[in-house]
Amino acid sequence: MEEIVFVTHNKGKAKSAEKYFKNLKISTYDFELDEPRSDSLQEIATAKVKQAYQVVGKPCIALDTGFFIEELNGFPRAFVNFSLDTIGIEGILKLMDGKENRACKFDECLAYFDGKEIRYFYGNHQGNLAYQQQGEDRNGKWSDLWYVFKPKGFDKTLAEMDDQERANRSTIDGSYSALKKFAEWYEENNK
Per domain, the residue ranges of the chain are 4-189
Q: Say what the pLDDT of residue 189 is.
A: 86
Q: Say what the pLDDT of residue 89 is.
A: 96
Q: Which residues are catalytic?
A: 64
Question: How confident is the model over 115-138, as pLDDT tens digits?
Answer: 999 999 999 999 999 999 999 887
Q: Say what the pLDDT of residue 1 is.
A: 59
Q: Say what the pLDDT of residue 70 is.
A: 98
Q: Say what the pLDDT of residue 140 is.
A: 67
Report, as ranges of residue numbers, the positions in the chain whose pLDDT lies below 70.
Answer: 1, 12, 139-140
Give SS3 for 64.
strand
Question: How confident is the model over 148-169, as pLDDT tens digits?
Answer: 999 999 999 999 988 888 878 8
Q: The domain 4-189: what is its CATH number?
A: 3.90.950.10
Q: Say what the pLDDT of residue 139 is.
A: 66
Q: Say what the pLDDT of residue 130 is.
A: 97
CA 78 – CA 51 distance, rounded (Å)? 18
Q: Say what the pLDDT of residue 116 is.
A: 96
Yes or no: say if 126 and 154 are a contact pair by the CB < 8 Å rule: no
Other Cβ atoms less than 10 A from the Cβ of 43: the count is 17
DSSP state of 160: G
Give one DSSP letter per residue of 161-177, joined into a string.
Answer: S-HHHHHHTHHHH--B-
